[in-house]
Amino acid sequence: MTPQHITHRGISIFTLAASDAIETHCAPGQTAIREQADGWWLYFVDEDGKIDGYDAPFASHAEALWAAKAAAEFSAQ
């Protein structure tokens, strides 16, 4: 799967395959949605390049994307 990219409220959100490394595809300030065996995980890359994410996966890509967009809305305020 080729990483997919959208921008919401100035935040880049990338959808990655399980084998894609977040640090390879995302720069500081960007968000990644990555499919794993147990669901869709949401990760954030902070200004220092540290990767952090939610503690549970989403059941679908649509749910993870909604959460990523909501986080972008919050960041834009």
Contact indicator for 10, 23 with CB cutoff of 8 Å:
no
Q: How many domains does the chain have?
A: 1
pLDDT for position 18? 93
pLDDT tens digit string along 21-68? 999 999 999 999 999 999 999 999 999 999 999 999 999 999 999 999
In whole angstroms, how far apart are CA 2 and each of 5, 16, 19, 46, 77? 10, 7, 11, 23, 31
Report how far residue 44's alpha carbon sits from residue 25's, in angstroms, rounded to the nearest whole number: 12
Structure pTM?
0.90
Domain that holds residue 12: 4-76
Q: Does the structure show a pLDDT above 80 at 77?
A: no
